[in-house]
A and B are shown apart, each in its own frame.
Chain A
Amino acid sequence: MATAKQPMTTDTLQALTANRLIDGLVVYLTETGEWSTRVDDAALVPAETGEIVLAATGEQAVSTNHVVAPYLIDVETGGGEVNPTRFRERIRAFGPTVNTSV
């Protein structure tokens, strides 16, 4: 269960994530400015411009009370899939690692 590090791709990309106000679910900002519950839909920006995206879109979404506490995460894109770098963010993206079926 150790959290093996994925090999880093050349550039670190970032995505903007938050929790949706109404149901608390994890969401990601998409290319079209919507918020999606799928990390694959996330708009990816180079790390240098991440802050700008956050300032513009994140704060706007907070002020309209759509999402709560947006922040940037690092992601990797090996194998055509978007994979958050930090283990905590992978759990947020893909759900609990334990069986929760009833």
Chain B
Amino acid sequence: MPLLRNGHIALDQWVAVGDDEALPEDAPIIVSLARWRAERGSLVDEYRQIGIRLKGGDNAEEIANDLPYFDLVAIEFASIADGRGYSTARLLRDRYGYSGELRAVGHIIRDIFPFLHRCGFDAVEARNDRDAKAWRESVGAINVAYQPATDNRLPTTVLRHLPLAAAAE
């Protein structure tokens, strides 16, 4: 599965480690919330780069205080119908100020890219290489935002009343 960062195929140097698996030496690792909690002290000592993988039901608040330790947060979507990760992502970015890589993993189809993008995800485990182009095309396919979210788009409630917008009409 190719990794996309900002719509481009990227090298994935991270190693996702299962809860019972041995930790690799000298590589950036991704661990579960459970493993992070259990082994946090030794992980921080041993590894320069740590990523955490949250399940749909893990809330942003649970890792809010630990965010300085993470260079990557992966949020799992167990199915397309599980939308909890969108709230988690927005809270991490907007409330807790997380600025590292935010990666969507699990059941990801290209048609949800625009939602992911607006909620602050910058990376995604995609299905195939064609998805890179799909990301670049689809995140802008609808370029009007009715509501503020976690991307940089100005919502129409503001945009409509900028002096510029009035001039453009």
In the complex, are there CB atoms of A and B closer than 8 Å? no
Q: List residues of chain B with CB under 8 Å of any chain A CB.
A: none
